[in-house]
């Protein structure tokens, strides 16, 4: 701090106009020479400065005629030399206020071939892709999700740069700022056109006062060598993995969350629009979750001018600084007048309410195009719920002094000022409102309702999974990216691919095939793929045609021959295992083959062969590249020693015969059983099989059924009502028509799993999952038992159960004497009646219910009377290991 402050003072004192400079540093007293223990560790990283007479921070003013200035030319040559000798460089793009400078930065990024971290105010974070092709950004490596990746301790330890070039002063992300600080000592080159100092971390080594255009011109005339891109592949893989994880959770979350809003605001953007971002939580969410977008509204001349770059930026403005949240609406209106574009203004409710006079200015509509104001209304200051203060402060204090909660009607304010108001509550409504607002000729306020608590919970949820994805990415990289291989790049070509036929005799007909009434010998026929990479690595995969998928050997073999012709010489990315379920998109991108045209068995065998070849190429195993050893060693040994395996059986035969097979499988060690149903004429017969199996295997075994979309809605409902009390983990594809799935969930109450519905989807499967997001279409995890209060019913818990059912199995009951639960008629015997309603009796009844439902631990959640019962049960039954008490609400 002392060095950079003195360097700044000397620069201003000796620059034109020369004059005195007042230094005002908030150093601790006393400043006099008092005897103290001085530690030399404070000089760590300053070796270069101590070894010469140069200032720590060098100030360089670049003008159009800088080549005529010998001193400036020499200083810039020093900067260029550091860039030429870079080992690990990064280009950080802060706030940029001019569109031509955005173009200059993009050209600079393409020329340097460095990783690019773009702030939301740069205009590049929400960049417009000039093509919808997935490869359009390969020429520039944008690391959009570095902020979330830095949640991982391993990533923070790994990321270290020796040269940092930052264009534009301010950046939004605190985690990225801390990461840059950790890179000290390094060459930190800050380029900005304004003369003011901006060095909050006090380690900028070169402060260049120049426009991005001038700096890009100087840089691109210099000869910068293109060094090994090994480091780039690390960041590319890391960014891809974390980005996919975030996009997935934003898509499948059924509610309209604040991160999702930040993710889709680009839908309201066009080549003729601009964005104004509010302060506090809004700008942080946009910086973390914003995404790029495509547009087809380009003229031929415009596209010809842009052929050198894969994308273009947009004009983005904000008003962060000493003014806080005051005057944001008025500033946004002034910004709209100045830029002469359609402006989308995104602000929080508190910011909106602090400048309601802006609505009067908005109504005047002078010298500007229509505006859209998107207000995220969580009825308070949500950012404080994400800060450390929320963990140590009483909720009542937070509500009163931090959140500044309110009940002001934004609709009423808009109505009073004559401004159009739209209120949206769902994702679909938000999409429609954003699109329609950009086509209208009037100003519009879109209000999105949110909740402080749910917002904090969802942010925490995303951070957890993003951190896990980053850890997994590093694990995969450690297996797929040894230093010696990365010098050759992260790609390898397929040299050859072949197949051989196999036949295996079975002891019973396959459950996935039609019944063989006239045969006593059964076989499984298929192909073994052998895929060889150019480095000699060989991977094997199995293609086993399934009749249930309408596959046969002849058709599959014909498709394999076609694929072998297409795939020879195709390049494979070593990071392919990190795509997880996106292998289908790789087939489309690389081979140009629609995924729906491939047989499922062919797609499975092809993926298996490629992944095995990649694993062999790196001296690893398929398990290690999909689930790296460094992650597995962190788990407890008992978890590694046992793997829960599901057995698949057919329901043909009598209920007793099927139950006997199930019992034998359980004795062999299977912990779950999946039964094929809907192969009989009457679903009542299938229900009888399920009832008998559950009776014989007990409640400790997971029981699943698969109807393969063979039932009509009426048949599926009949089956569902007959088995609803037999604790099915789920029923897979119960109905023939997709439109009946949600209705079936609601009427039957059974959890539903999707298979063919997703597999046959021509669109993005994530979009389809959003369509079928329902609290009965779940991935079951832990079990939670909800207990209502006095005079309540189980229906009181439905909203909460709906919110968390995606990660837990939720059960609520009507306690004795409440709701639909009836108690024995004791006449006038009040003592007998009181004994039936005692807390001890109720606890015993609930314990029997839990033992019937699951052998695993259960979380009890209750309020009022339900909380007292939960607490009693946690204390009474904890020694038996039957209950796991986590939380009681009162």
Same-domain check for residues 148 and 194: yes
Q: What is the pLDDT of residue 519?
A: 58
What CATH number corresponds to the domain at position 518? 3.30.390.10
What CATH number corresponds to the domain at position 88? 3.40.50.1220
Same-domain check for residues 529 and 611: yes
Q: What is the pLDDT of residue 36?
A: 64
Residue 36 covered by a domain: no
On whether the CB atoms of residues 163 and 184 are closer than 8 A, the answer is no
Write the DSSP string, 624-664: HHHS-HHHHTTS-HHHHH----EEEEE--S-HHHHHHHHHH
How far is 694 from 171, CA to CA, in rounded Å?
60
Confidence check: pLDDT of 636 > 50: no
For the chain, how many structural domains are there in total? 5
Boundary (domain end) residue, out of 607, 635, 663: 635
Ranges of H-type helices in 327-451: 328-339, 349-353, 357-364, 389-392, 395-397, 410-417, 427-439
Residue 27 covered by a domain: no
User: What contacts 260, CB < 8 A, 6 or more positions away?
Assistant: 250, 253, 289, 427
Residue 236 covered by a domain: no
* Greater model confidence, 585 or 670: 670
What is the per-residue pLDDT across 59-78, written as a single tens digit (0 to 9) for each?
888 865 555 567 778 888 89
Same-domain check for residues 819 and 793: yes
On whether the CB atoms of residues 710 and 684 are closer than 8 A, the answer is no
Q: 10 Å Cβ neighbour count for 100?
A: 10
What is the per-residue pLDDT across 491-527, written as a single tens digit (0 to 9) for each?
788 999 999 999 988 777 776 555 444 556 678 889 9
Lowest mean pLDDT among 57-61, 160-164, 227-231, 340-344: 227-231
Residue 301 covered by a domain: no
Same-domain check for residues 88 and 196: yes
Q: Residue 126 in 3-state DSSP?
A: coil
Residue 135 covered by a domain: yes
Per-residue pLDDT averaged across 662-672, rounded?
A: 91
Q: What is the pLDDT of residue 430?
A: 92
Residue 709 covered by a domain: yes
Residue 235 covered by a domain: no
What CATH number corresponds to the domain at position 805? 3.40.50.1820
Confidence check: pLDDT of 110 > 90: no
Same-domain check for residues 516 and 609: yes
Average confidence score pLDDT of the chain? 80
Boundary (domain end) residue, out of 601, 635, 669: 635
Q: Residue 171 in 3-state DSSP?
A: coil
Confidence check: pLDDT of 640 > 60: no
User: What contacts 135, CB < 8 A, 6 or more positions away?
Assistant: 589
Q: What is the pLDDT of residue 134?
A: 44
Phi, psi of 252 (to 5 degrees): -85, -15
Same-domain check for residues 782 and 715: no
On whether the CB atoms of residues 807 and 779 are closer than 8 A, the answer is yes
Per-residue pLDDT averaged across 37-54, rounded?
A: 71
Q: What share of the chain is helix, strand, coil (3-state, %, to 5)?
A: 45, 15, 40
User: What contacts 89, CB < 8 A, 6 or more positions away?
Assistant: 83, 112, 114, 115, 161, 162, 163, 164, 165
Measured in whole angstroms, the distance separating CA 808 from the mean position of its chain's CA atoms is: 20
Same-domain check for residues 770 and 785: no
Residue 421: domain span: 273-289+315-449
Same-domain check for residues 670 and 790: no
Q: What is the pLDDT of residue 353?
A: 92
Confidence check: pLDDT of 670 > 70: yes
Per-residue pLDDT averaged across 405-424, rounded?
A: 92
Same-domain check for residues 745 and 827: no
pTM for this predicted structure: 0.67
Q: What is the pLDDT of residue 627?
A: 67
pLDDT band at 294 (very low <50, low <70, confident <90, very high): low
Write the DSSP string, 236-264: HHHHHHHHHHHHHHHHH--S--HHHHHHH
Same-domain check for residues 63 and 212: yes
User: DSSP assignment, residue 378?
Assistant: -
Q: What is the pLDDT of residue 628?
A: 63
What CATH number corresponds to the domain at position 389? 3.40.50.970
What is the per-residue pLDDT across 279-290, written as a single tens digit (0 to 9) for each?
888 999 999 999
Task: Please give the share of the chain, as a percent, with pLDDT higher than 90.
Answer: 26
Same-domain check for residues 623 and 693: no
Confidence check: pLDDT of 772 > 60: no
How far is 751 from 759, CA to CA, in rounded Å?
19
pLDDT band at 235 (very low <50, low <70, confident <90, very high): confident
| Backbone φ/ψ region at 536: left (φ over 0), alpha (ψ -120 to 50), beta | left
What CATH number corresponds to the domain at position 738? 3.20.20.120
| Backbone φ/ψ region at 32: left (φ over 0), alpha (ψ -120 to 50), beta | beta
Residue 149 covered by a domain: yes
Q: What is the pLDDT of residue 333?
A: 92
Confidence check: pLDDT of 831 > 50: yes
Same-domain check for residues 576 and 680: no
Lowest mean pLDDT among 213-222, 240-249, 680-689: 240-249
Q: What is the pLDDT of residue 674?
A: 93
What is the per-residue pLDDT across 566-585, written as a single tens digit (0 to 9) for each?
888 888 877 666 655 467 76
Confidence check: pLDDT of 887 > 50: no
Q: What is the pLDDT of residue 469?
A: 85
Q: What is the pLDDT of residue 179?
A: 92
């Amino acid at each position: 701090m002392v060095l950079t402050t003195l360097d700044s003072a000397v620069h201003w004192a000796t620059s034109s106009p020369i004059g005195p400079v007042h230094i005002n540093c908030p150093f601790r007293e006393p400043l006099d020479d008092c005897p103290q223990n001085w530690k030399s560790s404070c000089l760590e990283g300053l070796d270069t400065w101590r070894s010469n007479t140069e200032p720590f921070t060098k100030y360089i003013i670049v003008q159009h005629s800088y080549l005529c200035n010998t001193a400036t030319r020499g200083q810039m040559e020093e900067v260029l030399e550091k860039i030429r000798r870079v080992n690990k460089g990064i280009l950080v793009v802060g706030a940029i206020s001019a569109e031509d400078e955005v173009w200059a930065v993009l050209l600079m990024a393409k020329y340097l071939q460095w990783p690019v971290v773009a702030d939301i105010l740069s205009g590049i974070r929400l960049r417009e892709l000039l093509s919808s092709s997935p490869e359009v950004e390969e020429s520039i490596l944008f690391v959009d999700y570095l902020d979330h990746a830095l949640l991982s301790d391993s990533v923070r330890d790994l990321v270290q740069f020796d040269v940092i070039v930052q264009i534009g002063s301010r950046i939004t992300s605190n985690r990225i700022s801390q990461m840059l600080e950790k890179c000290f000592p390094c060459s930190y080159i800050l380029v900005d056109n304004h003369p003011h100092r901006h060095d909050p971390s006090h380690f900028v080594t070169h402060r260049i006062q120049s426009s991005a255009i001038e700096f890009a011109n100087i840089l691109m005339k210099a000869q910068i060598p293109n060094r090994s891109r090994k480091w780039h592949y690390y960041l590319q893989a890391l960014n891809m993995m974390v980005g996919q994880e975030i996009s997935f959770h934003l898509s499948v979350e059924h509610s309209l969350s604040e991160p999702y809003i930040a993710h889709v605001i680009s839908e309201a953007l066009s080549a003729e629009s601009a964005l104004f971002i509010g302060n506090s939580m809004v700008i942080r969410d946009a910086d973390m979750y914003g995404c790029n977008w495509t547009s087809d509204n380009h003229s031929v001349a415009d596209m010809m001018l842009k052929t050198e770059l894969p994308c273009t930026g947009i004009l983005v403005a904000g008003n962060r600084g000493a003014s806080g949240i005051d005057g944001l609406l008025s500033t946004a209106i002034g910004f709209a007048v100045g830029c002469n574009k359609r402006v989308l203004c995104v602000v929080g409710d508190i910011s909106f309410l602090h400048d309601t006079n802006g609505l009067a200015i908005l109504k005047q509509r002078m010298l500007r195009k229509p505006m859209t104001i998107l207000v995220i209304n969580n009825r308070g200051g949500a950012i404080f719920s994400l800060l450390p203060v929320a963990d140590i402060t009483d909720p009542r204090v937070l509500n009163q002094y931090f959140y500044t909660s309110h009940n002001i009607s934004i609709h009423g304010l808009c109505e009073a000022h004559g401004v159009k108001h739209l209120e949206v509550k769902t994702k679909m409504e938000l999409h429609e409102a954003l699109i329609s607002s950009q086509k209208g000729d009037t100003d519009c306020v879109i209000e999105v309702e949110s909740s402080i608590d749910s917002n904090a919970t969802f942010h925490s949820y995303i951070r957890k999974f993003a951190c896990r994805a980053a850890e997994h990415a590093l694990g995969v990289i450690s297996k797929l990216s040894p230093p010696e291989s990365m010098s050759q790049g992260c790609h390898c070509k397929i040299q050859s691919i072949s197949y051989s036929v196999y036949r295996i005799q079975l002891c019973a007909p396959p459950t996935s095939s039609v019944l063989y009434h006239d045969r006593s010998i059964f076989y499984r026929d298929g192909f073994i793929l052998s895929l060889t990479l150019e480095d000699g690595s060989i991977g094997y995969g199995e293609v086993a045609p399934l009749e249930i998928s309408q596959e046969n050997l002849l058709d599959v073999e014909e498709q394999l021959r076609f694929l072998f012709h297409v795939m020879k010489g195709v390049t494979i990315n070593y990071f392919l295992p990190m795509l997880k379920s996106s292998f289908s998109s790789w087939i489309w991108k690389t081979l140009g083959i629609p995924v729906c045209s491939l047989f499922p068995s062919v797609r499975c065998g092809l993926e298996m062969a490629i992944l095995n070849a990649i694993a062999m190429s790196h001296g690893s195993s398929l398990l290690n590249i999909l689930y790296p050893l460094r992650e597995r060693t962190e788990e407890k040994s008992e978890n590694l020693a046992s793997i829960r395996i599901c057995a698949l059986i057919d329901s043909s035969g009598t209920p007793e015969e099927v139950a006997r097979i199930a019992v034998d499988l359980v004795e062999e060690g299977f912990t779950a059983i999946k039964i094929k149903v809907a192969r009989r004429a009457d679903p009542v017969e299938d229900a009888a099989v399920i009832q008998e199996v559950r009776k014989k295997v007990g409640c400790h075994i997971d029981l699943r059924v698969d109807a393969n979309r063979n039932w009509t809605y009426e048949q599926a409902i009949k089956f569902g009502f007959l088995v609803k009390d037999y604790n099915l983990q789920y029923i897979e594809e119960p109905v023939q028509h997709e439109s009946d799935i949600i209705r079936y969930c609601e009427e039957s109450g059974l959890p539903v799993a999707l298979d063919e519905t997703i597999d046959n989807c021509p669109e993005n499967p994530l979009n389809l999952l959003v369509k079928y997001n329902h609290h009965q279409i779940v991935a079951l995890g832990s079990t939670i038992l909800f207990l209502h209060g006095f005079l309540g019913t189980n229906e009181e818990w439905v909203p909460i159960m709906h919110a968390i059912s995606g990660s837990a199995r939720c059960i609520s009951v009507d306690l004795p004497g409440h709701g639909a639960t009836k108690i024995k008629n004791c006449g006038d015997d009040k003592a007998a009646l009181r004994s039936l309603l005692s807390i001890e009796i109720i606890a015993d009844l609930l314990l029997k219910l839990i033992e019937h439902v699951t052998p695993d631990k259960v979380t009890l959640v209750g309020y009022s009377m339900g909380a007292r019962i939960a607490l009693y049960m946690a204390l009474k039954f904890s020694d038996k290991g039957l209950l796991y008490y986590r939380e009681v609400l009162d």
